[in-house]
Amino acid sequence: MPPVPARYRPAACHDGPGQPVKAGQRSKRKGPVKALKYWSGRFTKETEGIVDRFGASIPFDCRLAEYDIQGSIAYAHALEEAGVLSGEERARIEAGLSSILDDVKGGKIAFKLELEDIHTNIEKLLEERVGDIARKLHTGRSRNDQVALDMRLYVREQARKIVESARELQRALVKRAEEEIDVVMPAYTHLQRAQPVLFSHHLMAYFEMLERDVGRFRDCLRRMDEMPLGSGAACGTAYPISREALAKRLGFARITANSLDAVSDRDFVIEFLAACALLMMHLSRLCEEIVLWSSQEFGFIELDDAHATGSSMMPQKKNPDVAELIRGKSGRVYGDLVSLLVTMKGLPLAYNKDMQEDKEALFDAADTVLACLEVLTPVILALTVRKGRMESAVKEGFLVATDIADYLVRKGMAFRDAHRVAGRVVLHCIENGRSLCDLSVSEWKGFSDLFQDDILQAITVESSLNARSVPGGTSRAQVLSAIANAKKVLYIKEDGIL
């Protein structure tokens, strides 16, 4: 099974010479921090260590390193075009940033806590590598527009990954729907047996939910496709940088239209989290069914041994931990969404430090969703369907009672009356311990003259299913056509999965 990503990537941080701290941990060092801050000019004292430690985002925003570097390289080009950097200076800065990126990827960098965040850490590293020209890179730029860009680049990549993983799960559902096309189970309402349904139809319901999820991530990607650099700290930049060229270089469709909005907007993160929350709700519902179905009471499915767990005390147990955990993790992702909504709700324009709180929620949600999708797909592919158990559940409980009413409607009775007659038939069977299929025709006629010999054919499971041949219904033909449509959406060839 794929490993679940850690809440924070365990990139090493540093809170002073020789004292590496793990990402996600706070420094234990007391006393003032010695490093020179880029903004220290107007200050007469160094910040207290406790303030540094409290305000630093590097333990978690180190995950943005790649995007920050991507943004800085693009920005260096914009500065060259604006005449702030010479071609040679830009090339040296670009080479320096690329080497930092290689080292970040190689896990060779220990970020420093006293440098507060990823933006300053990268810039200081650049200064160490290319010297004073690095000090020109921040011309006309603020960490406010920098972080707005980094966050968009991160969300863009995660949204694309989630769409891909959701597609994988959809492919698994469609594959199982096709394989199990002959399996009938009870459809439930109020968790009471309702009507016969194809198991494949049930699986395809989740395909539809995931299809809406994919649509939501795509909507989110379209709306957030705006490049914020050039917004400066709040009011735009005073240098003639081409924002349009920057947008193109960074792969955005448009530029943001208002600098104040651009640096204080986290709608795109909230939309992404909302899409994550909805997706998790769908996964949670599917997992709830897996938990129910794999119970001995239902016995509709059996999980592969590789996807279940045992009990430390009860040797007979086989527990659906994966499904339960996914169900549990949905709550955590809702928490991520709500935490950012609440963080943002009272903030005046434009950037406020509160917004630094967006990151952990975002990273946590993205990691959780991806991990859940990744682990659920093989579970679906490998589970065993217990056809016989499902079929016997269909046979008990008068699931074709609606079909008795529909039969009478076809013979001319109003549905309300037909429903009542069918109810009387069911009650008769319950009270006398009978089943519908062993009532004689004369017994049927006792309930209504409209019943004839063909009633028994009308109330088989097969005819119940195939009567529901309306588009979107559970007849075999409709389900096969839903599967065929899904394969088109997923680019699955008729002969297999691409």
Q: Kindly write out the interface string for residues 404-443 of this chain, putting x where it contacts ligand ARG by CB under 6 A and - elsewhere.
A: ----------------------------------------
Distance of alpha carbon 449 from alpha carbon 408, whole angstroms: 10
Task: Output the smallest distance, CB 357 to ligand ARG, in A.
Answer: 8
Structure letter (DSSP) for residue 196: E
Q: Where are the alpha helices (DSSP H) in 265-320?
A: 267-293
Task: Output the smallest distance, CB 148 to ligand ARG, in A.
Answer: 9
Q: Output b/e per residue, 462-484; b: 16+ Cβ within 10 A.
A: ebbbebbeeeebbbbebbeebbe
Residue 117, interface with ligand ARG (CB under 6 A)? Answer: yes
Strand pairing report for 12-14 and 111-112:
parallel
Q: Which of 35, 125, 169, 355 binds ligand ARG (CB under 6 A)?
A: 355
> Under a CB-based contact definition with an 8 Å cutoff, are residues 478 and 468 in contact?
yes
Task: Output the smallest distance, CB 269 to ligand ARG, in A.
Answer: 11
> In the annotation, is 311 catalytic?
yes
Site of tokens 């702030």 = 84
| Assigned token pair, 166 | 């959701």
User: Which range in 182-190, 277-285, 353-361, 430-438 contacts ligand ARG by CB under 6 A?
Assistant: 353-361
Task: Output the smallest distance, CB 362 to ligand ARG, in A.
Answer: 11
Residue 76, by phi and psi: left (phi above 0), alpha (psi -120 to 50) or beta? alpha
> In the annotation, is 190 catalytic?
yes
Radius of gyration of the chain from its Cα atoms, rounded to whole angstroms? 31
| Count of residues that interact with ligand ARG, criterion CB under 6 A | 11
Catalytic residue among 98, 311, 435, 481: 311
Task: Output the smallest distance, CB 57 to ligand ARG, in A.
Answer: 4
Residue 475, interface with ligand ARG (CB under 6 A)? Answer: no
Residue 307, interface with ligand ARG (CB under 6 A)? Answer: no
CB contact set of 90 (below 8 Å; sequence gap of 6+): 76, 77, 79, 80
Would you mind telling me the total number of residues written for the chain in this entry? 498
Catalytic residue among 190, 312, 440, 442: 190
Q: Which of 121, 144, 256, 368 binds ligand ARG (CB under 6 A)?
A: 144
| Assigned token pair, 90 | 């830009």
Smallest CA-to-CA distance from 153 within 73, 68, 74, 94 is with 68
- State which residue, 115 or 373, has the beta carbon closest to ligand ARG: 115
Q: Which of 23, 49, 53, 61 binds ligand ARG (CB under 6 A)?
A: 61
Residue 47, interface with ligand ARG (CB under 6 A)? Answer: no
Q: What residues are labeled active site? A: 190, 311
* Binding positions for ligand ARG, rule: CB under 6 A: 57, 61, 117, 143-144, 147, 351, 353, 355-356, 359
